[in-house]
Amino acid sequence: MAKAYMIGTGIGNLAAGIYLIRDGGWSGDQITMFGLEKHGANDGAKVTDYEKEYGNPKLGNSKGYLAKGGRMLNEETYENLWDVLRSVPSLDNPGQSVTDDILNFDHAHPTHDVARLMDSLDGIRNKGDQKDYNHMQFNNQDRMLLTKLMMMPESKESQLNDVSIEQWFAKSPHIFTTNFWHMWQTTFAFKKESSAMELRRYMNRMILEFSRINTLEGVTRTPYNQYESIIVPMRKYLKDHGVNFIDNRKITEFVFKDTALRDDIVVTGLKYEEVDNDNKAGEIEVGENDFVFDTNGSITDSSSIGDLDTPIKENMEYAPSAALWKQATEHFYNLGNPDKFFADRKQSEWLSFTITTDNHFLLNEISRITQQEPGNALNTWIDSSNLLSIVVHHQPHFHAQKENETVFWGYAMYPRRNGDYVDKPFIEMTGKEMLQELLGHLAAVDPARDNIADHTEEIMDSVVNVIPAYMPYASALFNRRAVGDRPDVVPKNSKNLAFISQFAEMPFDMVFTEQYSFRCAQIAVYHFMGLPDSELTPLHHYEKQPKVLAKATKTMFR
């Protein structure tokens, strides 16, 4: 009986397991999943739950909740995700699927952001003047270069090898002063240094969202955090089907067969360490009919966590998932270049912080200042030195959250810059200092006579915890790259090894999305199961629809 070994228990391998069972006809006991933690990039939990994985007392203050980030879903373009999650039963609403759970919630609580951009001089940029973020603020050179980038054929993508967004717009740096760029970079986590190749893919795949980026109406939100709304139901589905989960086992090395044809890729063994058992070493034999699915890179690898009174201590470890990928590249020439994504933290680092309070005073103050209820997406201070943003969720954001508690998170895209109200680099701040920095920016845009600054002591008294989370590789998937730097999902001549992650290569689709991981999973499973490509989930091509393009063109001149 054939077996499948999944390295990493992120959303991609969970999806691969479901595809094997649902479409490949496998039984769950043929599948084993190895993970160092249960959360991955779709995280969210009480701090005490994280401590069980990271090792107590690593997080210090054990109170409150932690969400390193959040994933924004999209109803129109996440075709694989919705298809798979229709097969996964809801844990909250018997008789429904996870897809039903999410879309029903989203339709009942549609996103409409009315405070997307703010600055200290003008407050919320939605006053109807030329600074109103309904205006993209392009000049003709911006429009020409953006259109030229989007219209570039896929066959010519190599022209963008190692080209940054800043280099592409070298003749029109004006674009980096526009409302479009302020919204784009903080919605999707792009930087000037990021890959123009990825910007091209986003402009095509997300062209439907271009005309509504100012309100984020295309954002589909989950009822709770992504871990509880998506990962937990998927894990239960797999466990109910007999899948074996082995936690805290780190796969350290692929053992490859020395074939007559030297470029044939055949995994015959997996060397490992037991992380919670004195790093006890071992090896798993991989049979000739078995398959290996590897998460060759994770954006939350090597994270560092602080607390209310403790700044993070930077973890300098090379991403463990990428280290395994790198070991494979030492044997075969066509498996990409992990250093492009994991050797330059300046391109990819950012820092988030999760705030838990024991009453709703701060939440209500934010709603008063931003003029929107919780759940309406994203607020960015465009003149903040760190490029500070917050995401205030629909409450509660966790099943275990108490009725009186508020939980939301924020992030700084440039954590090594000094704060505007706390004079030290953001990365060196305690959780309390990060909240003070946020309160300074809230006060700067607060028009009320009874300003939020007058209630600092009251707010601080309500704080349960503020958890900083530094992620050196958070946007590594946008790093400058060339064609060939990412391995194919199933590399050429691979007989049993597939890569399922944001660092595998597929045509057209865009990284930093669950859709990308689900699509990788389907391509890998269908290849190994001998299922035809014609049965892959169809993708929408809005970039080819005249009405969508006409609306996008109109938006360019808005």
pLDDT at 457 over 70: yes
pLDDT at 550 over 90: yes
**Tens digit of pLDDT for each residue in 316-343?**
999 999 999 999 999 999 999 999 999 9
pLDDT band at 260 (very low <50, low <70, confident <90, very high): low
What residues have CB less than 8 Å from 377, skipping those under 6 apart?
111, 113, 116, 216, 219, 391
**Tens digit of pLDDT for each residue in 144-172?**
999 999 999 999 999 999 999 999 999 99
**Residue ranges of domains in the chain, CATH in brackets:** 350-471 (3.30.9.80)
Contacts 24+ apart (CB under 8 A), 482-486: 482/158, 482/161, 482/162, 482/340, 483/157, 483/158, 483/161, 484/334, 484/336, 484/337, 485/336, 485/337, 485/340, 485/341, 486/336
What is the dihedral angle through the alpha carbons of 390, 394, 395, 399, rounded to the nearest 10 degrees?
-100
CB 473 within 8 A of CB 341: yes
Give the mean model confidence (pLDDT) for residues 131-155. Answer: 94
**Tens digit of pLDDT for each residue in 490-533?**
999 999 999 999 999 999 999 999 999 999 999 999 999 999 99
Average of per-residue pLDDT values in the chain: 93
CB 158 within 8 A of CB 189: no
Q: What's the pLDDT at 131?
A: 75
Active site residues: 202
For residues 435 and 355, what is the distance between their CA atoms, to the nearest angstrom?
8
C-alpha pair distances (Å), 291 with each of 20, 31, 330, 335, 403? 11, 10, 20, 17, 46
